[in-house]
């Protein structure tokens, strides 16, 4: 279908149909994309024999969907940038082993996408465990990003509003262009978003950043349904453009905000038995983010839109994700070590000294003589890769062939 022929859906039924098609096609793009968009299959695997072998760690907040694309630079409200977890939709109080194994699966699929040999995958898992466990020792400090990731980090530091607008809106002007990425709102949705922007909590959230005046009024300039992500396609997702204390003649970069409004659904990740978490899914996501990813958590708001729990946050130019494609063996190994260290920092800082020692001892078990990674991790990743490769091919046959490109 040519771009000029595309007609954005204007009903819930037509929207749902197009979103299902897009999600299927995105997941068919590559085996790694299939892994990113299919969290449920990963957690179904926990009921298999290999899934029951992984160690049970301390009950802490985990990402729940710990893949490479969910890690990257993030800015806090004062403009400080750090590499943290970027997406907490699946966060629960659960088993940290789940994050380790899911990251291992993602790294292995990235290696396969780069046509790297299996021995490189083994070395990546070794490096990942080394990076994760080194986060236990706070005296070592954070690792410097390897060159393959440092380029993205340096790019994040240089980014400004125009880069954010060009990336998402294709235009720095204060409007959201309706097209393939942005669809018209239903009347009830527009009313709900307008009501949301009248709440004091929204003004507090948006004026908290960049040392804005806390008394500044905010104005909703434009909004649309946002076709974004893969696993989230099908849920409510909106983008809003807001002005802070600005008139029509004074809409500079400091006055404009791009707001992500995302439905918070039930997590696929299992929570620890007896764990106490908010029943409201938006509150769960925000609470988990504040534990795992402080830069992001302090910029998030749990709210409701048409009685649906949503998480609201302002997008900042520095918030970008890492991409791993066409890696060399050395790049893949160094990236695995660094990214696992980021996850390790998110986990270990939630534990007291005694808990850290117990978890570190547990991770020290089941190492083989030939691999500097525990056997449960290697066996889990091998099993998961095989299952997801088969699932990916079945997905392509069942869905992708039936949709136009």
Mean pLDDT, residues 23-27: 85
Alpha carbons within 13 angstroms on the beta-carbon side of residue 21 total: 13
**pLDDT mean over 172-176:** 72
* 354 pLDDT above the threshold of 90: yes
Among 249-258, 274-283, 367-376, which stretch is predicted with the lowest mean pLDDT?
249-258
Three-state secondary structure along 342-370?
A: HHHHHHHCCCCHHHHHHHHHHHCCCECCC
pLDDT for 2 equals 47
Q: What is the rounded average pLDDT of the residues 328-354?
A: 95
Residue 162 three-state SS: helix
Alpha-carbon span 106 to 112, nearest angstrom: 10
Higher per-residue confidence, 308 vs 215: 308
- Predicted TM-score (pTM) of the model is 0.90
Q: What pLDDT shows up at residue 165?
A: 78
Taking the C-alpha atoms of residue 396 and residue 392, their distance in angstroms, rounded to an integer, is 6
Assess whether pLDDT exceeds 60 at residue 405.
Answer: no
> Which residues, at least 6 apart from 362, have a Cβ–Cβ distance to it below 8 Å?
55, 57
- The better pLDDT of the pair 398, 344 is held by 344
pLDDT tops 50 at residue 175: yes
Domain ranges of the chain: 24-157+321-402, 161-315
Torsion of CA 142, 341, 66, 281, to 10 degrees: -50
User: In whole angstroms, what is the distance from residue 319 CA to residue 83 CA?
Assistant: 9
pLDDT band of residue 142 (cuts 50, 70, 90) is: low
Confidence at 230, pLDDT banded by 50, 70, 90: low
Q: What is the mean pLDDT of the chain?
A: 87
* Token couple for 204: 């507090």
Average pLDDT, stretch 238-258? 74
């Amino acid at each position: 279908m040519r771009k000029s022929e595309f007609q954005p859906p204007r009903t819930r039924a037509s929207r749902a149909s197009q979103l299902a098609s897009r999600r299927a096609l995105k997941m068919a793009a590559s085996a790694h994309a299939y892994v990113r968009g299919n969290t449920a299959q990963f957690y179904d695997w926990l009921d298999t024999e290999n899934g029951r072998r992984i160690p049970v760690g301390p009950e802490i907040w985990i990402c729940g969907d710990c893949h490479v694309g969910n890690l990257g630079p993030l800015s806090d409200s004062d403009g400080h940038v750090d590499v943290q977890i970027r997406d907490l939709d699946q966060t629960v109080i659960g088993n940290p082993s789940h994050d380790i194994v899911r990251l291992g699966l993602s790294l292995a699929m990235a290696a396969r996408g780069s046509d790297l040999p299996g021995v490189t995958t083994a070395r990546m898992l070794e490096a990942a465990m080394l990076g994760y466990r080194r986060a236990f020792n706070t005296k070592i400090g954070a690792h410097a990003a390897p060159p393959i990731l440092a380029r993205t980090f340096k790019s994040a530091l240089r980014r400004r509003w125009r880069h954010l607008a060009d990336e998402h809106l294709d235009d720095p002007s204060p409007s959201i262009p309706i097209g393939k990425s942005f669809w018209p709102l239903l009347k009830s949705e527009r009313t709900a978003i307008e009501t949301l922007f009248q709440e004091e909590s929204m003004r507090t959230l948006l004026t908290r950043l960049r040392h804005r005046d806390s008394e500044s009024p905010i104005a909703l300039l434009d909004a649309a349904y946002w076709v974004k992500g893969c696993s989230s396609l099908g849920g409510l997702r909106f983008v809003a453009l807001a002005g802070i204390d600005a008139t029509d003649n004074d809409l500079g970069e400091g006055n404009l905000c791009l707001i992500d409004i995302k439905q918070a659904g039930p997590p696929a990740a299992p929570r620890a038995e007896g764990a106490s978490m908010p029943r409201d899914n938006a509150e769960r996501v925000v609470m988990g983010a504040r534990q795992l990813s402080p830069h992001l958590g302090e910029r998030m708001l749990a709210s409701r839109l048409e009685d649906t729990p949503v998480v609201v946050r302002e997008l900042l130019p520095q918030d970008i994700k890492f991409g791993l494609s066409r890696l060399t063996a050395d790049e893949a190994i160094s990236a695995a070590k660094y990214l696992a260290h980021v996850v390790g920092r998110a986990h270990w800082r939630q534990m007291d000294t005694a808990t850290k020692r117990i978890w570190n001892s547990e991770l020290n078990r089941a190492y083989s003589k030939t691999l500097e990674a525990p056997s449960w991790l290697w066996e889990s990743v091998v099993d998961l890769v095989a299952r997801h490769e088969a699932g990916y091919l079945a997905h392509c046959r069942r869905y992708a062939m039936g949709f136009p490109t």
